[in-house]
Structure 1
Amino acid sequence: MSHANALLTPRGRLLLARCVVEDGWPLRRAAERFSVSVTTAKRWADRYRASGPAGMVDRSSRPRSCPHQTSQRRERRVVGLRVTHRWGPARIAYHLGMNPATVQRILTRYGCLLLRWTDPATGAPVRARRRQVVRYERDAPGDLIHVDIKKLGRIPDGGGHRAVGRAQGVRNSGAHRDPNRKRKAPGRPNLGYAYLHHAVDDYSRYAYSEILTDETKQTATAFMARALDHFAAIGITTARVMTDNGSCYRSHLFAQLLADNGIVHKKTRPYTPKTNGKVERFNRTLQEEWAYARPYTSESERVAAFPAFLHAYNHDRGHTALKGASPADRVPNLAGQYS
């Protein structure tokens, strides 16, 4: 809207109406003076006679009645079909004999998320609408623990190519190579991997993590036992554990550990890492803020920096999904506990 002193804002309308009503100007003369049509001049003069200066403000253009408006009962049917059948607006429209555009406006007005923003199996929101935080999460710590393994290539003594350049990095790798470890690619030393085992609480994003030497069922099961003990020590009772379909998690040994503790084991859909998204996001944070945050000159240097990163992640780092809070802020009885 233009500034308050412009013509035919409330002030300009009032001047026009007073010229006609109080000063007796003909409508045509007033219309020419204010550069409007005669119909417009008559409208504001009539409003001034009926309501005085208060009638010069804008009024809603909404009609007093709308005979063809969709009934509330029909709108409820639209929303009901979306919730129970997960149908799109076109299919709902064809089923109810409506226009798809009308159905889409109803769904938008009732705040229904797009189908691609919801979980196909449960219908739970998995992505936020604009300016809203609607990501799914469990109701309490321990309701669901996300478990995963992240492999990182080891850094040779003297530094890898990220720290000292490609040529020197290759020489350092060759000197650091274990002669008993076979090369997987000609001309490339096989330094092996560091296996980071993670357990991330869905509700608080609190992470328990260890750097281990492999991903066998014995190692994964032993890690899970230590993670459960750690969570219990800080007041988190684990009810469910979610993993991918790796062989170590499909073993009888891992299943027996969870069964002995009365924990439900949930597995992600094959080739769908987003199902285990909380721990996958932790992996990304770990790479950006620890693994590749600065050039390390040895694997031992990077390993030595890991406890400080993990403590900062759990106790000091504000999380966007938690509205700036840290995981420790959502975990009961955590005072004095460190990862």
Structure 2
Amino acid sequence: GKVYSQVFIDSYSRVADAKLYTDKTAITAADMLNDRVLPWYESQGIPILRILTDRGSEYKGNIEHHAFELFLSIEGIEHTTTKAYSPQTNGMCERFNKTMKQEFFDTAMRKKIYTDLDDLQLDLDIWLEHFNNERPHSGKYCYGKTPMQTFKDSKKLAVEKNNEILYLDYISDSQNLTDNQVQNL
């Protein structure tokens, strides 16, 4: 079956996280924020004030009837969206999705047959730990440091400015795993 990766990236430090789902809905988008993103940033003392997403139906809808929009409203998070049909507007997420596909999914699918989503998520979490804490980045603010080191170095500034922006996106080419790669998902 298909596996979708709900992704977030801190736009300054490039700290990233991803959670796997078997569908792509407003509920899963809100779940990622509720389960992983907001608790982590709260533990760091940094409030999330604004999130940028694409215009997918999992992110956009009538605020009164759309789980993701309602969740953001309740949490007091401003929601901005990319320009229609302009993936370059969310280039940071697009680039991370490509890196995750090349460095994690392509390799993982050749090495192992996954029988459940939790097993695949566990391996993805190990890769994300490496990505955030060991893999140097040459990006605008990282200058050869890891995303986590960049985050730690900039934490005081982030708290002072109180202006964090996260990019939230689905992997653009969702992994369609063959039946012999994933069973019983």
TM-score by length of 1: 0.40
Matched residue SS, 2:58: coil
Q: Do the aligned partners of 2:48 and 2:77 also contact (CA within 8 Å) in 1?
A: yes
Q: Do the aligned partners of 1:196 and 1:211 also contact (CA within 8 Å) in 2?
A: yes
Q: Distance in 2 between matches of 1:303 and 1:260?
A: 28
Matched residue SS, 2:145: coil
Partner amino acid, structure 1, of 2:38? L
Matched residue SS, 2:42: helix
Partner amino acid, structure 2, of 1:286? M
Q: Does 1:269 align with 2:90?
A: no
Q: Do the aligned partners of 1:195 and 1:212 also contact (CA within 8 Å) in 2?
A: yes
Q: Does 1:278 align with 2:88?
A: no
Counterpart in 2 of 1:329?
149
Q: What CA deviation, in whole Å up to 9, does each residue of 1:116-166 have, x standing for no partner?
A: xxxxxxxxxxxxxxxxxxxxxxxxxxxxxxxxxxxxxxxxxxxxxxxxxxx
Change (3 A) 1:292 1:277: same
Residue 204 of structure 1: CA displacement? Answer: 0.6
Q: Do the aligned partners of 1:291 and 1:302 also contact (CA within 8 Å) in 2?
A: no
How do 1:305-320 residues align onto structure 2 when only pairs under 5 Å count?
305-320=123-138
Matched residue SS, 2:29: helix
Residue 215 of structure 1: CA displacement? Answer: 0.8
Structure 1 gaps, min length 5 = 1-191, 335-339
Q: Distance in 2 between matches of 1:304 and 1:262?
A: 31
Q: What CA deviation, in whole Å up to 9, does each residue of 1:24-55 have, x standing for no partner?
A: xxxxxxxxxxxxxxxxxxxxxxxxxxxxxxxx
Partner amino acid, structure 2, of 1:268? T
How do 1:140-219 residues align onto structure 2 when only pairs under 5 Å count?
192-219=1-28
Q: Distance in 1 between matches of 2:28 and 2:84?
A: 23
Q: Distance in 2 between matches of 1:307 and 1:287?
A: 14
Residue 266 of structure 1: CA displacement? Answer: 0.6
Counterpart in 2 of 1:229?
39
Matched residue SS, 2:9: strand
Partner amino acid, structure 2, of 1:276? N
Q: Distance in 2 between matches of 1:317 and 1:236?
A: 24
Identity %: 31
Partner amino acid, structure 2, of 1:327? P
Q: Distance in 2 between matches of 1:204 and 1:262?
A: 23
Q: What CA deviation, in whole Å up to 9, does each residue of 1:182-239 have, x standing for no partner?
A: xxxxxxxxxx211110111100111121111211111211222222222222333211
Matched residue SS, 2:80: strand
Q: Does 1:244 align with 2:54?
A: yes
Q: Distance in 2 between matches of 1:193 and 1:233?
A: 33
Q: Do the aligned partners of 2:19 and 2:121 also contact (CA within 8 Å) in 1?
A: no
Partner amino acid, structure 2, of 1:320? S
Partner amino acid, structure 2, of 1:262? G
Q: Distance in 1 between matches of 2:34 and 2:112?
A: 33
The equivalent position to 1:298 in structure 2, one of 101, 113, 120, is 113
Q: Do the aligned partners of 1:234 and 1:332 also contact (CA within 8 Å) in 2?
A: no
How do 1:51-70 residues align onto structure 2 when only pairs under 5 Å count?
none
Q: What CA deviation, in whole Å up to 9, does each residue of 1:311-336 have, x standing for no partner?
A: 001111100112111111122399xx
Residue 293 of structure 1: CA displacement? Answer: 2.7
Matched residue SS, 1:199: strand
TM-score by length of 2: 0.70
Residues matched between the structures, number: 143
Structure whose CA Rg is larger: 1
Residue 303 of structure 1: CA displacement? Answer: 4.2
Structure of higher RCO (CA pairs closer than 8 Å, 6+ residues apart): 2
